[in-house]
Structure 1
Amino acid sequence: MSSEAEIPKEDQYDLVIDAMGGDQAPDIVIKGLDFTALRHPNIKILLIGDATKIDPLLHQYPNVSAVCTLRHTSVSIPMDMKPTTALKIRDSSLRMAMESVAKKESKGVVSAGNSGAMLALAQIIVKTMPGIARPAMAAINPTAKGDAVMLDLGANVACDSRNLVDFAIMGHAFAKAVLGLPHPTIGLLNVGSEELKGDERLRVAADVLRNSPLSDQFYGFIEGHDITAGTTDVVVTDGFTGNIALKTGEGALKLVFHLLKQVYTSGVRGKLGYLMVRPGLERMKEWLDPRRYNGAVFVGLNGVVVKSHGGADEVGFACAVDVAMDMISHGFHEEILAGLSKVNAVKDTNQQS
């Protein structure tokens, strides 16, 4: 079937899943979809992968089998394969999943596979939305006030002011769709909160947002400590800075838990102290569980594209699927198109005047 052919609604899938992507695929994928089948009993999933490995698992998980249609391919993309090489493989499970979204057979795709290959295939096959120069990688992060979305996290190392404005629009739509916030606030990550701080592209992007329909939601410049403080619901930055901030935050979190373990295992007093604070520590561990935040999204594409961490377990993979379903059910793409239209209308008016 060609990409231009109209696919009947009854033959469309909510999601297509790359069953062979990830460190422990397809086992973890199928186990994760068992949670999905319980949370979304009416979901329709196209599962792409090696039938010889997947069929035995589907027999073990009848709930997954009930919501999935399996499409066979024995070819998968290794986690360490270069994107340029992956693009040449025509019948890989990841490529077939992207093609399903491109021809509107499926509304979105979830994979725990090779990140670089996934972005490259998404850009070439699914393609960027009209009016978006570059897609960005967005993810949810815990803060002192709840959850926040941050983008870009590495898809674009260098960005100009237009990219940053696009990221703000897409992050705003993401926060509304996935976090359920009616009026999410937006902050531009900078080296200071003063208006004169930062380089030219940041100042230009700030000026555009201050004079756009998002002006009421635009907080202004924020600094690194504002990310975890929850100063804004959306944190906008370039991929270079965003990736460093993300990895720094992950490292700091690991350090905190490492130090706490040392404190509460060093001697009798420490162990007694742990018994007293254990309920609170368990709640904190659950709140900061990285599995809850699994599911980075390539935003700005003509379809929902969600990247699960390659090493995620079944709980983490199910959370990534939840993110994809939230985006589909809450009109994420329509929200982006509406935001772009409003911002561009204001820019055109300003240019004419």
Structure 2
Amino acid sequence: MKRIAIDAMGGDHAPKAVIEGVNRALAEFSDITIQLYGDEEKIRPYLEANERVTIHHTKEKIDSDDEPAKAIRRKKEASMVLAAQAVKNGEADAVLSAGNTGALLAAGLFIVGRIKGVERPGLLSTLPTVDARGFDMLDLGANAENTAKHLHQYAILGSFYAKTVRQIERPRVGLLNNGTEKTKGDPLRKEVYDLLEADERIYFVGNVESRDLMAGVADVVVTDGFTGNAVLKAIEGTASSLMGQVKTALLSGGALSKLGAFLLKDNLTALKQQLDYTSAGGAVLFGVKAPVVKAHGSSDARSIYYTIKQTRTMLDKGTVAQLVDAFAEGE
């Protein structure tokens, strides 16, 4: 059984969305058990009876405006802290939360712990492309500043994730830059380019520009946390705005436009699915000793379900265990 500890109180729509996502996952996957951490009185009304789910009651939680490191230290009984502690104690195999991102990163680093040899774990997420293959990008904000060695390790980590979780035999790694030429970029980007080009373990395809990301120019995209977080939000915002504008244009243009919308329904549904980043799951703090997965704060039940599915896949493939072995042997 794959044991997943979940912060039931994290996220904008908790605990309802979290529990409804859990119900769907339990119904579909017979090889997982769920440990819910949170207020039992608030959880029970949404939870369907299942022998593979348990509730660990606590009324303390970490709020979205709490200072991450302080919250982890001071709120020892918070649902997120207890879920991470269960992983550390060997009572669970992974932790998932839609709550305070900084607090979950702190819990991953200070409670679960980083893999020996990984200097700075990075936040990784699979983002959409027009061909529906997607690409993995890191760091997405775990670290505001990075060294060349950190980004080199991100390329290794991202390639490993793409191979084991997404089953891409030879992931193409691109370095996010302001141009595709080797000479482009600041001193950091130039140093990283040389490191990646010299590493035979990585299929490095060179610099990539942000405008080409959704065209599928690479399977893994490496950048610093500040830039990655900005690009992530730009992609999310663009996808959401695009679908909203298409819907408005079709439904506000009179009878002919509405007829066109009806005729294009299947095509528009396919487009929406291609741009839907939530179906890939959450963001993974990659480089720590167990899967620490962050669902979007606004996650609905569907998003939570897909994040549980992603976590299950990581456990099924033994992704983190293999990564530990790989770094133990030396990069």
Aligning the two structures, in what range does the TM-score lie when normalised by the shorter sequence?
over 0.9
* Unaligned segments of structure 2, at least 5 residues: none
SS in structure 1 of the partner of residue 32 of structure 2:
coil
Aligned to 2:232: 246
1:283 CA displacement: 1.9
Segment drifting more, 239-248 vs 288-297: 288-297
* TM-score (norm. length: structure 1): 0.87
Does the 8 Å contact 1:169/1:339 carry over to 2? no
SS in structure 2 of the partner of residue 204 of structure 1:
helix
Identity of aligned residues (%): 35
Relative to 1, partners in 2 of residues 1:202 and 1:306: Cα closer, same or farther, differing over 3 Å? Answer: same
The total of aligned residue pairs comes to: 328
Separation (CA, whole Å) in 1 of partners of 2:196 and 2:329: 11
Aligned to 2:247: 261
1:342 CA displacement: 7.1
Relative to 1, partners in 2 of residues 1:315 and 1:338: Cα closer, same or farther, differing over 3 Å? Answer: same
1:112 CA displacement: 0.9
User: Are residues 1:75 and 2:60 paired?
Assistant: yes
Does the 8 Å contact 1:42/1:67 carry over to 2? no
Separation (CA, whole Å) in 2 of partners of 1:51 and 1:25: 12
1:43 CA displacement: 1.0
User: Are residues 1:159 and 2:146 paired?
Assistant: yes
User: Are residues 1:123 and 2:109 paired?
Assistant: yes
Separation (CA, whole Å) in 2 of partners of 1:187 and 1:55: 46
Segment drifting more, 48-57 vs 183-192: 48-57
- Structure 2 residue aligned with 1:273, among 256, 260, 264? 260
Query: Following superposition of structure 1 onto structure 2, how do residues 1-353 of structure 1 map, counting pairs within 5 Å?
Result: 14-58=3-47, 61-62=48-49, 65-87=50-72, 88-145=74-131, 146-215=133-202, 217-264=203-250, 265-337=252-324, 339-340=326-327, 344=331
Segment drifting more, 136-145 vs 328-337: 328-337
Q: Select the structure of larger CA radius of gyration.
A: 1
Does the 8 Å contact 2:2/2:31 carry over to 1? no
* Unaligned segments of structure 1, at least 5 residues: 1-11, 345-353
* TM-score (norm. length: structure 2): 0.93
2:248 alignment partner AA: Q
Separation (CA, whole Å) in 2 of partners of 1:337 and 1:291: 28
**Residue deviations 1:297-321, cap 9 Å, x none?**
1111111000111211111101111
1:95 CA displacement: 0.6
